[in-house]
Amino acid sequence: MNVIDTFRLNGKTALMTGGAGLYGQQIARALAMAGAKTFMASRNLEKLDKQAQIFRDEGLDVTAYQLDQSDEKQILKLRDRLNEETGGVDILINNAVIRCMSSWEDDADNLRKSLDVNITGVFLMTRVFGDQMAARGGGSIINIGSIYGMVSQDYSLYEGTDMHGDIPDYWMHKGSMVQFTRFAAAKLGPHGVRVNTVSPGGLFNNQNPIFVKRYNARTFLGRMANQTDLMGTIVFLASDASAYVTGVNIPVDAGFTAK
């Protein structure tokens, strides 16, 4: 077999939570460009469907569905719908995230709201679709983490700007995702299902120039991520090219966490 063929996703069905954000857009585009029939699911169907139409206008097979991943009944309903339409999901991307806290002093209820989606929801998605993959004999689950699930906050990056990184629930959830990946990989591995995490670095989105300069200096490559930097890693982990890779966390961060 030609090694390039192992990267192709033709005949595969991929489901990604979220998809309207900057990283979600390139993940969905990468999956569809590699040949997967791609579905995006989130609570804001109107916004997601607009993005899916952009992909379809590019000739890509992308469909949007509504989903509140904190609700197990909705997850099961989506699973059954995709089973009916495609025969089952081969690739799951846990990408959706909400940030309910805005500071260290924020109300605890906001932490609980984010826990429902970012922790409970990720577990439910992984269990429901992971069990289905296991019953079918294989699949790939990719959790989208963050460099801020790997390193501590650096408040000096934000000094003198209108930005701040005081979002404690985000740090907690992205860090726990790495450990949950190891657990799920051990649980589902005997059934041929691989589970990995990708931890992206900061993506350039016209942030304050002071922040961008400081952030760039923290990386080996001297820049923030762009609109395509995550695509190759996603296709690698989703495809048979990574058939012997599971339980790992891959930073895609220009060396930010290694410096």
Question: What residues are annotated to the active site?
Answer: 170
Q: Exposure string (b/e) for 207-218, b if CB count within 10 Å is 16 or more?
A: beeebbebbbeb
Amino acid at 26: Q
Contact at 8 Å (CB) between 216 and 223? yes
Question: Phi/psi at 197 (nearest 5 deg)?
Answer: -115, 140
Please identify which residue in the block is written with the tokens 């058939």: 243
- Provide the sign of the torsion angle of the four alpha carbons 82, 114, 140, 182, taken in this order: negative
Which SS3 state, helix, strand or coil, does residue 6 take?
A: helix
- Determine the distance from the C-alpha atom of residue 131 to the mean position of all C-alpha atoms in its chain, rounded to a whole number: 19
Integer angstrom CA distances of residue 51 from 68, 82, 154, 158: 18, 20, 33, 31
**In whole angstroms, what separates CA 228 from the centre of its chain?**
14
| Separation CA 187–CA 198 (nearest Å) | 19
